[in-house]
């Protein structure tokens, strides 16, 4: 089922939680709602679910206006951060629950329920846990059961609110890959809320990046990562080095160094900032006449295939972070205190708007 929201507004008292939000969630895709705490992700999810109502605007399910529809008529499945499993019921009964409470005329038979629950337990690869109770499961297992329970009623949409938020880093990583594989199998239109950019970039077909109740950018992960539309998006997707300066006819003058900024060739004079990600630098030992920014190596450590360098600009003392392949790091035989030459391979310049 496709989902769209159109010009949604939601206030809590004086506070604007959603400000004119319009979005499309294509049929069968997995969308991540990404953004800092308090930006409105959960509010948007709850409005799509029918657990909350917008002050104005529409929710369209398969093109039909569902804004006033009750949650039970929207056929959505939920998974929340804190496992909402019933402690006193077995895992089997937890998954069967949604089927057992269906109105009598559409309730499946006992045999059908058994078949359905068994196949869901196989789907989430936990069939050996059927007779246990939730407290006897690990956090990761409970979330997989919560997902199986949400899927039992064959929802047309799956909504997940920080489903792996309470789990430790390693389990989180495993589960997000598992979710991706599961989604590839089922193709249920799914929306999941996260504030973890790595999770969104790895798992989603589409990312919606939100900030202060508005949408900053929508796109495929690679698209958003390669072409951030705003400084906020650039900064939110990982560490970034900033070069503040002045933009003048396609050139950013950032103190001791100038960078080409061809996208801004029509700007006469404005303040602007160059953005460079740590792994987007080329690094060499200093040699007379070498072109680039002179920096001093303050610290370096190599973990696995990558080496992380802390660098200090020679001209103004600003600190920069660079990440280079460990192989290159060893080849260069860098020593702390040594002067190096830095050249960004990619630089994105945003001109300040006032």
Taking the least distance from each CB to ligand ATP, the nearer of 212 and 244 is 212
Taking the least distance from each CB to ligand ATP, the nearer of 6 and 195 is 195
CB of 43 to ligand ATP, least distance (A): 3
**Please, which of residues 204-243 interact with ligand ATP by CB under 6 A?**
none
Taking the least distance from each CB to ligand ATP, the nearer of 58 and 81 is 81
- Among residues 12, 104, 111, 184, the one that binds ligand ATP under rule CB under 6 A: 12
CB of 195 to ligand ATP, least distance (A): 5
Pairing of strands 76-79, 157-161: parallel
Taking the least distance from each CB to ligand ATP, the nearer of 21 and 251 is 21
What phi and psi, each to the nearest 5 degrees, are found at residue 44?
-65, -45
- Among residues 17, 124, 191, 207, the one that binds ligand ATP under rule CB under 6 A: 17
- Among residues 6, 132, 173, 195, the one that binds ligand ATP under rule CB under 6 A: 195
CB of 182 to ligand ATP, least distance (A): 23
Taking the least distance from each CB to ligand ATP, the nearer of 213 and 344 is 213
Q: State the DSSP code for 40.
A: S
DSSP letters spanning 154-170: --SEEEEESTTTTS-HH
Write each residue from 25 to 54 as x if it is in contact with ligand ATP (CB under 6 A), else as -, in one continuous string.
----------x-xxxxxxx-----------
- Taking alpha carbons only, the member of 281, 325, 329 closest to residue 306 is 325
Cα–Cα distance for residue pair 308/329, rounded to 1 Å: 9
Angle at 298 between CA 294 and CA 304, to 5 degrees: 105
Angle at 218 between CA 210 and CA 344, to 5 degrees: 95
Contact 191, 108 (CB under 8 A): no
C-alpha neighbours within 13 Å on the C-beta side of residue 105: 0
Q: Is 128 in the site for ligand ATP (CB under 6 A)?
A: no
Contact 137, 171 (CB under 8 A): no
Q: How many residues bind ligand ATP (CB under 6 A)?
A: 12
Residues 6+ apart with CB under 8 A from 344: 259, 274, 276, 280, 281, 282
CB of 75 to ligand ATP, least distance (A): 23
Taking the least distance from each CB to ligand ATP, the nearer of 41 and 116 is 41
Residues contributing to the site for ligand ATP (CB under 6 A): 12, 15, 17, 35, 37-43, 195
């Amino acid at each position: 089922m496709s989902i769209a929201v159109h010009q949604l507004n939601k206030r809590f008292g004086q506070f604007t939680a959603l400000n004119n939000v319009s979005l499309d969630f294509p049929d069968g895709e997995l969308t991540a709602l990404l953004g800092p705490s308090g930006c409105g992700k959960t509010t948007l999810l709850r409005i799509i679910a029918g657990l909350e109502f917008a002050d104005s605007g529409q929710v369209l399910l398969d093109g039909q206006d569902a804004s006033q529809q009750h949650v039970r008529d929207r056929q959505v499945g939920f998974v929340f951060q804190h496992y909402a499993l019933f402690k006193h019921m077995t895992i089997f009964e937890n998954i069967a629950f949604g089927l057992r409470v269906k109105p009598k005329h559409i309730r499946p038979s006992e045999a059908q329920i058994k078949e359905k629950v068994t196949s869901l337990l196989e789907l989430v690869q936990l069939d050996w846990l059927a007779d246990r109770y939730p407290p006897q499961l690990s956090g990761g297992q409970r979330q997989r059961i919560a997902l199986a329970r949400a899927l039992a009623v064959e929802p047309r949409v799956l909504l997940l609110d920080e489903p792996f938020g309470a789990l430790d880093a390693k389990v989180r990583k495993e589960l997000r890959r598992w979710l991706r594989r599961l989604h590839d199998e089922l193709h249920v239109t799914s929306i999941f809320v996260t504030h973890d950019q790595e999770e969104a970039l790895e798992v989603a077909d589409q990312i919606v990046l939100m900030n202060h109740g508005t949408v900053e950018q929508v796109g495929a992960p690679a698209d958003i990562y390669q072409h951030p539309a705003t400084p906020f998006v650039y900064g939110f997707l990982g560490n970034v080095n900033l070069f503040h300066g002045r933009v003048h006819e396609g050139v950013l003058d950032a103190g001791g160094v100038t960078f080409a900024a061809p996208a801004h060739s029509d700007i006469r004079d404005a303040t602007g900032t160059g953005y460079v990600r740590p792994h987007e630098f080329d690094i060499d030992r200093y040699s007379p006449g070498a072109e680039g920014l002179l920096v001093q190596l303050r610290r370096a450590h190599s973990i696995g295939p990558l080496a992380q360098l802390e660098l200090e600009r020679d001209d103004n003392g600003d600190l920069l972070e660079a990440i280079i392949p460990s192989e290159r790091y060893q080849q260069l035989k860098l020593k702390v205190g040594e002067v190096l030459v830095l050249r960004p391979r990619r630089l994105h310049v945003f001109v300040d708007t006032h």
